[in-house]
Structure 1
Amino acid sequence: MPSARPGAAESISNTIATGAHSRVLVRTVTGLEFLAAAELTDAGHRLIDMSTRQLVIDPTSANIITSPPRLADDLFLIGADVPDPGRTKADLSKLARALRRELTVPLLHWPGEAISVSASFLGRRTYSRFDIEDLSGQIIAEQTGGHYHSRRDGSRPPRDRADWRVVLDGTRARVAMRPFDAPLHRRDWRTRTVTGSLHPPVAAALARLARIEPGHRVLDPFCGAGTILLEAHRTEPEASYIGIDRDSIAINAARANTDQTAGIVWRTGDARTLEGWLTGVDRIVTNPPWQVRLDIDDFSSHMGLWHHQLQADGLLVAIVNQSQAQFLRDDARWQVDAIHEIAVAGQHPRIVVARPTA
């Protein structure tokens, strides 16, 4: 995971100790909001608000910084939570007044530091994201003694900077600072990818849904660069993991991404030819091709093999396209427990949780 900025955990702890609010804005993949909320509430934090792609959390400890949620795309400390100013450019004056009155800056800045702001909004407006960014960035710079870097002309902000996020959702305007040196979805282990590599927070969601326990044997028959099993290993390091892919380049990428101490076996080959070696599996967690950038032949035969490989009390968690999800739902060999619709990489796949029938 990205590194926390100096003082980030202490800032949360001190705020909690004084009884003041230190709310956090968590950004997610569309469709993972409820799962991300469950991850955070299981860690003891309080859910305040939830809307498309975002959660507002009242943290109860600094572990939201030291052990940040794996299902989150990103996380920010909220400096201001004010009414959405409205649709017209003239309404931005309301936002400026509210921020000058309400903005509280986390003590994670140093004088002269570069400031970058990224903004988004819901609904039609007569102003652009750059108008919001420039307005907010100037006010943040006033309060911190920093230097705001506008991206209106397309230039990149300096490498060493404080990143802020502004979100207008039609009801509230939230201005928040990232307490990490990079977005949470950028994993430190991820040095190599291949075509079809899964977004890490989505892979973490699959691992969470699989409910992997110590001693479980976990298989990914389409492992690619290893994203799912590497995320699963961080969730439950006491299980054993087997990743298979017929592309040797993908297997080499998975090995490059893997800490040598991790209990993961990577093997080149077609899972359908390795049936005898792969029986008695407790979990199959996988991302088979969605027939978008890669093809999969005879999806039914793969499902038959998975049914044979799993223990009677085993579990399949797969992210598939709409027709593949329907195929699983209609197949008598499987009992589908849940289907989660998400949006990722410009596509709308389904995460299917299923168990083999007798």
Structure 2
Amino acid sequence: MEILVASEIRERGLGHVDLIGHREVHFTSPDPAAATRALPTADDVLLVAAVLHGIGHTKDDLRHLTELGDLSWAPRRPLDVSATVVGARRFGRYDVEDAVGAYLSSVLGVPYHSRRGGVRPPPGTTSWRVTIEGKRATVAVRQADRPAHRRDYKRASVPGTLHPPVAAAMVRLAGVGRGDVVLDPCCGAGTLLIEASSTGARLYGADRDPAALRAARTNASGLGLRLLHADAGALPLRAGGVDRILANPPWERQVPARGTLAADPTRLWSELRRVLHPSGRLVALLHGDAPLEGWHPLARHPIRVAGAEATIVVAALRSG
């Protein structure tokens, strides 16, 4: 996802990408407030307070994390800290969090709520983030009240529902445009189609699970989605009438294949080939390195979804 986030920053002119690291992309923006609101492929968008170098492997090195400089601009609210430590160290994430949290609490004169032991901070805290990779540490603060991946529309859910930033990345990779007919054949709670709703496309979702369709209707209220109670292996759509397909098929994990796909999973790909326009595009989220039967792959983007290896595949119909 880091590469996809960096690509969106560049393509949308949101700023200059300075660094791509482990689960982070550093960029400089002429309008940070606008960039914070306009980056749907990112899990979160934070303001960098400091980038510190020379972080070693012992607990003594944690003292460097307090070299944050002037903090007169920082919010004066109770705070929490979340840390990611890449690689083996003689300290853990809670050691990092408590070192930074205690320092910020002292300098800013506000309470610090530790996450040690898995304790969740109370509502209303300002969230700080620390990432240590190699000898570099990034300390940043979230200016919004909640992470960017928490969408207001996500009022209903079903097992296997897609993470909104992943859905947003798939929409961008599909190149969805105004007037396109877009299909999600296994729409679940509607996340892919809702992330595409600002493009001006005509959006169709199908699912054979009535509970999934109810969730999609709740989440997509007022957006004009056309939702069909249908089997993804036997869609009630004419041949060649779809311009873009966005698909998160059942992985046989949280969501088992049902209907025609339970008997023959390849039916999905043959049916999608039937309904897609010859110049159309498919973007599918596949488990691991699962093959895409009967398609011509144009690009593959490896990611992790719920801790499992996955691949976003962009594909076209095979000619001939």
Helix, strand or coil: the match of 1:229? helix
1:233 aligns with 2:193: no
Helix, strand or coil: the match of 2:100? helix
Show the 5 A alignment for 1:295-314.
295-296=256-257, 297=261, 298-314=264-280
Helix, strand or coil: the match of 2:282? strand
Helix, strand or coil: the match of 2:196? helix
- Provide, for residues 274-332 of structure 1, a one-character-per-residue CA deviation record: whole Å limited to 9, x for no partner: 344464100111100112222333222211111111111001111012353x243xx3x
1:149 aligns with 2:149: no
* Kept in 2: contact 1:207–1:232 (CA 8 A): yes
1:42 aligns with 2:19: no
What percent identity do the matched residue pairs reach? 38
Give the letter aligned to residue 207 of structure 2.
Answer: D
1:198 Cα deviation after fit: 0.8
1:134 aligns with 2:98: yes
Helix, strand or coil: the match of 2:283? strand
Aligned mate of 1:104, from 46, 71, 90: 71
* Kept in 2: contact 1:80–1:104 (CA 8 A): no
Aligned to 1:174: 138
**CA RMSD, Structure 1 to Structure 2 (Å):** 1.7
Distance 1:299 1:88, change over 3 A: same
Distance 1:171 1:68, change over 3 A: farther
- Provide, for residues 55-97 of structure 1, a one-character-per-residue CA deviation record: whole Å limited to 9, x for no partner: 11101213113x331010111111111114210112223333x
- Provide, for residues 187-239 of structure 1, a one-character-per-residue CA deviation record: whole Å limited to 9, x for no partner: 110011111111111111110001011110000110001011011113x1x11
1:357 aligns with 2:318: yes
1:355 Cα deviation after fit: 0.7
Aligned to 1:58: 28
| Structure 1 stretches lacking a partner, 5+ long | 1-31
State how far apart, in whole Å, the 1-side matches of 2:234 and 2:244 are.
19
State how far apart, in whole Å, the 1-side matches of 2:281 and 2:189 are.
22
State how far apart, in whole Å, the 2-side matches of 1:233 and 1:256 are.
15
Show the 5 A alignment for 1:240-255.
240-255=202-217
Helix, strand or coil: the match of 2:309? coil
State how far apart, in whole Å, the 1-side matches of 2:81 and 2:267 are.
49
State how far apart, in whole Å, the 1-side matches of 2:246 and 2:34 are.
28
Aligned to 2:161: 197
State how far apart, in whole Å, the 2-side matches of 1:250 and 1:153 are.
35
Aligned mate of 1:258, from 196, 220, 237: 220
Distance 1:282 1:141, change over 3 A: same
| Structure 2 stretches lacking a partner, 5+ long | none
Aligned to 1:286: 247
* Kept in 2: contact 1:84–1:169 (CA 8 A): no
* Kept in 2: contact 1:193–1:253 (CA 8 A): yes
State how far apart, in whole Å, the 2-side matches of 1:195 and 1:292 are.
10
| 127-136 or 48-57, which deviates more | 127-136
State how far apart, in whole Å, the 2-side matches of 1:174 and 1:217 are.
42
* Kept in 1: contact 2:83–2:93 (CA 8 A): yes
- Provide, for residues 14-62 of structure 1, a one-character-per-residue CA deviation record: whole Å limited to 9, x for no partner: xxxxxxxxxxxxxxxxxx1111101111232100001121111101213
> Which of the pair has the greater relative contact order for Cα pairs under 8 Å at 6+ separation?
1
Distance 1:189 1:314, change over 3 A: same
Distance 1:276 1:92, change over 3 A: closer
Distance 1:126 1:162, change over 3 A: same
State how far apart, in whole Å, the 2-side matches of 1:278 and 1:246 are.
20
Show the 5 A alignment for 1:155-166.
155-166=119-130
* Kept in 2: contact 1:46–1:60 (CA 8 A): no
Helix, strand or coil: the match of 1:184? coil
Give the letter aligned to residue 268 of structure 1.
Answer: H
TM-score normalised according to structure 1 size: 0.83
